[in-house]
Structure 1
Amino acid sequence: MPEQPTTYAQQYLPLFQSYQEEYLHRLTTLVNIDSGSGQIDGITQIMSYLEQWLTELGCTVTLIANDLFGPNLVARRTGKGNTRILLVGHVDTVYGPDATRTRPFSVQNGIAYGPGVIDMKCGVVMCLYALRALIESGFEDYGELCIVFNNDEEVGSPGSAPLLRDLAPQVDVGLVLESSRNPEIVTHARKGADKYVLEVRGVSAHSGAEPHKGRSAVVELAHKILAIQNLHTLFPGVTFNVTRLSSTEPLNIVPDIARCHISVRAHTDESLNRAAAAMEQIVAGNTVPDTVSTLTRARGRRPYRATPEVMELVHMAQIEGTAFGWQIVSEGKGGVSDANILMAAGVPALDSLGPVGGGMHNLSLEYLKLASVSLRGSLLTGLIRRISLSKFTGREPSS
């Protein structure tokens, strides 16, 4: 039988189990701070805690101000090796003010609940303990560990994307700490996303006295929305999601302006461009005479694809997973993350390395399986060690 490769993850499990009480206390603290995207006071408070905890671990910590979303955090710890590893997480949530009053942190039967508990404050706190486990085990054979906690991932990382792109030339590998639905699943690809605004201009008229003189922008927009929805049948794997409808509001006027927003997602840039061309064809014509439509495209995160370098990271995660009897598989996902930004900047990235849970973006349902934290934290720590001693440095793990 072939010799089984050495794994490191199991060495860190006792350490993570010893951290459990403190981990839970810190997670409670962060979850009970409202930090929806743009809630600057809450974001700032969370970053202050993280700055303190990372400084205690010997990191050099920098807070980078942002007027719209609060600070971003960059922490660095220098090692004695060569590989430079970037770990990325976000502290913002999708929830509005007072979410913590509506649904404060709680634990029932080993399941933790609360706003942002799985997306992704659990991964942010777990990252701290992966670093602590490396320090306490005496492992320093990395070149540098760089940690970025950003403030605006849930709205597309508009302020933090330039920061990640600036850091990209300084690192070799990216590890993104989004959660997973299963301990044996990681993410090797994500769809890219484009955003559109579709606006229709018609002709206003009195809706009672002379409606025949009007040209309803709302009716024309409705035709176009249905046509766009029907594109799903022509472009398998591409999603078209229409949201945020608005129009001229007075009930006694035929509406002369109507608009909607559209999110389009696909696994390749080619598919996104084909979808754009199809939508332009729809917009070019009209069903209601004398209406004119315009479509404005905003390029979002680019698709994150499973390159050979990414699959090598998957393979290393699979080796470390055998420490717990796991058969780790990787998958592509429709949701986007900061891994898309890293990949577009040329950094091979592996995603969904955080703890296990679900119910994301639903305040009543969001949950974390607490038992997964020690196991997935040990997996992450073992993976960092394996990467540090891997082909990225020209050194293979010793048996």
Structure 2
Amino acid sequence: MSDSTIDLAGSADDPAAPDTGSRAVDPQLDALRAAIAADLPAYLDDLRRLVDTDCGSYTPEGVNEIGRWTADFLRELGAELDIRPDPSGRFGDTVVATFSGRSGGARVLLIGHMDTVFDPGTVAERPFRIDDGVAYGPGVTDMKSGLLAGLYALKSIIGEQGGLPFERLTFIANPDEEVGSPTSSVHIREVAADADACLVLECARANGDIVSARKGILDTRLTVHGRAAHAGVEPEKGRNAILEAARLVRDLHGLNGRWPGVSVNVGVIRGGTRPNVVAERCELEVDVRATTSEGLDAVEAAVREVAAATEVADTTVDAQVMVAWRPMEKLERSGRLVEHAQAVASRLGFSIKDTSTGGASDANSTSGMGVPSLDGLGPIGGSDHSPSEYLDVDSIVPRTALLAGLLLAIARDPEILAWRDDDPRFAP
């Protein structure tokens, strides 16, 4: 930490104070943790309710049930609610809750998502349960537990301090993160445009790490256009789109290893109509990832070059990026948020590290805008998107207390406010 952060350590009551080598007595942070621990039974009841609601991204009625519940919770804490529907009705509503406080304070954005990757009926097949201190259920860690951690962290601060020490704190509950935030991203970017920091409530890694960097992703569709013909009578008149697609698979996977941190995977192929028809059309769905913006731009250009280099005569290939996430690169100022989180964790009696991960989140969007961002601030869990998805119940209280302490550390750090002086987002 820099000297200005060390100056914050003048009182043991300050959650922003750096590690002194052993767990410091910190009455304020201990009070937050005690309040969160007292709320654990209510948290678990709420977790059961949220997990036991089918709320896949394409199940807007279920997502909106989660949204109404979340909005009611935030309203009871004193937030001003703005419910923003998806005009198409395909996705659920985005919940934007704003707490207004002291003038001249920090502006912070919290983001959690309400949707899961699971189809309707999944809850009936495997509802919420707790076995030996581990909670299971669809979306239990991705990310109902993180959504609740954000709510209960705010509740603890308001309960202990009578309010939030920010000029503005905005909590956005996203209805469509699992499919790339197509409708919510505009609302996230609107609030992030003048935010001093953004905290995203995805779960901590299975080893407890928080997340300071994520790969960027291009969900890409390649469509091969050929020519249909009778495969037995006059195959020579056909132009086989599947054959050209096979070439694409080979060459696309050949891009792996060309740049550090870049990966390309053809995950889905759809083509042809019948065995006795030369395939006229074939589609490939391709996952393209990179750790840096430069790498993502380079591999996108290479994918388009591969698509253009057809080998089957008279075939053509269209390349279309369906969803794009820019990489969440670890900004220098995001490192200060990491240091604050590590200091708070030390005062709570544990240690944490930050890491990078291959999956994207809404932190990719905010970081790409230049907003200091930190992710993985929910409780500890793993096996996301699978039937074995789990949450470590014992991690709920300490990780929610970590989030509450981190929020206070941000509020008390004058350097974070000073960032505005040379941030082009705040230029007059």
Shorter-chain TM-score category? over 0.9
2:255 is equivalent to residue 221 of structure 1: no
> 1:4 deviation in Å?
10
Q: Equivalences for 1:237-386 in 2 at 5 Å?
A: 237-298=261-322, 300-362=324-386, 364-386=387-409
1:54 and 1:350 map into 2 onto residues whose CA distance is 22
Deviates more, 1:173-182 or 1:20-29: 173-182
1:231 and 1:393 map into 2 onto residues whose CA distance is 43
2:35 is equivalent to residue 35 of structure 1: no
Whether the 8 Å contact between 1:77 and 1:145 is mirrored in structure 2 is yes
2:79 is equivalent to residue 59 of structure 1: yes
3-state SS of 1:305 partner:
coil
2:127 is equivalent to residue 104 of structure 1: yes
Whether the 8 Å contact between 1:106 and 1:114 is mirrored in structure 2 is yes
3-state SS of 1:343 partner:
helix
**Structure 2 length as normaliser, TM-score?**
0.88
| Per-residue CA distance 1:202-236 (angstroms, 9 max, x = gap) | 22221122223322110110111111012113233
> 1:60 deviation in Å?
1.4
- Matching residue's letter, 1:76: T
User: Unaligned stretches of 5+ in structure 1?
Assistant: 395-399
Whether the 8 Å contact between 1:184 and 1:326 is mirrored in structure 2 is no
> 1:140 deviation in Å?
3.4
| Per-residue CA distance 1:182-221 (angstroms, 9 max, x = gap) | 4641111111111222121222221122223322110110
3-state SS of 1:50 partner:
helix
> 1:79 deviation in Å?
2.4
User: Unaligned stretches of 5+ in structure 2?
Assistant: 1-5, 16-28, 419-428
> 1:3 deviation in Å?
10
2:352 and 2:323 map into 1 onto residues whose CA distance is 33
Q: For residue 194 of structure 1, what is the aligned residue in structure 2?
A: 218
Whether the 8 Å contact between 1:64 and 1:72 is mirrored in structure 2 is yes
- Matching residue's letter, 1:172: D
> 1:91 deviation in Å?
0.4
Q: Equivalences for 1:86-235 in 2 at 5 Å?
A: 86-138=109-161, 140-182=164-206, 184-235=208-259
> 1:26 deviation in Å?
0.6
Among 37, 46, 71, which residue is 1:17 paired with?
Answer: 37
3-state SS of 2:117 partner:
coil
2:127 and 2:51 map into 1 onto residues whose CA distance is 8
Whether the 8 Å contact between 2:32 and 2:401 is mirrored in structure 1 is yes
> 1:327 deviation in Å?
2.8
2:385 and 2:276 map into 1 onto residues whose CA distance is 38
- Matching residue's letter, 2:359: G
Q: For residue 397 of structure 1, what is the aligned residue in structure 2?
A: none
> 1:83 deviation in Å?
0.7
3-state SS of 1:21 partner:
helix
Whether the 8 Å contact between 2:146 and 2:202 is mirrored in structure 1 is yes
1:295 and 1:217 map into 2 onto residues whose CA distance is 14
| Per-residue CA distance 1:328-383 (angstroms, 9 max, x = gap) | 21111111000011122332111110000101000x20111111010000000000
> 1:247 deviation in Å?
1.4
Whether the 8 Å contact between 2:271 and 2:283 is mirrored in structure 1 is yes
Between the aligned residues of both structures, percent identity stands at: 35
> 1:54 deviation in Å?
1.4
- Matching residue's letter, 1:57: L
Deviates more, 1:193-202 or 1:31-40: 193-202
C-alpha distance 226-10 of structure 1, shift in aligned 2 (>3 A): farther
Pairs aligned (count):
393
- Matching residue's letter, 2:266: V
- Matching residue's letter, 2:211: T
3-state SS of 2:212 partner:
strand
Among 50, 56, 70, which residue is 2:92 paired with?
Answer: 70
> 1:308 deviation in Å?
1.2
> 1:181 deviation in Å?
2.0
> 1:118 deviation in Å?
0.3
Whether the 8 Å contact between 1:183 and 1:355 is mirrored in structure 2 is no
1:265 and 1:361 map into 2 onto residues whose CA distance is 19
> 1:175 deviation in Å?
0.4
> 1:40 deviation in Å?
1.1
3-state SS of 1:331 partner:
strand
1:304 and 1:116 map into 2 onto residues whose CA distance is 23
2:397 and 2:101 map into 1 onto residues whose CA distance is 24
Whether the 8 Å contact between 2:101 and 2:168 is mirrored in structure 1 is yes
- CA RMSD between the two structures: 1.9
Deviates more, 1:279-288 or 1:55-64: 279-288
| Per-residue CA distance 1:261-304 (angstroms, 9 max, x = gap) | 11211111211121122222222223323322222234611111
3-state SS of 1:107 partner:
strand
1:183 and 1:234 map into 2 onto residues whose CA distance is 30
Deviates more, 1:182-191 or 1:171-180: 182-191
Whether the 8 Å contact between 1:126 and 1:373 is mirrored in structure 2 is yes
Whether the 8 Å contact between 2:106 and 2:167 is mirrored in structure 1 is yes
2:143 and 2:318 map into 1 onto residues whose CA distance is 37
Deviates more, 1:334-343 or 1:201-210: 201-210
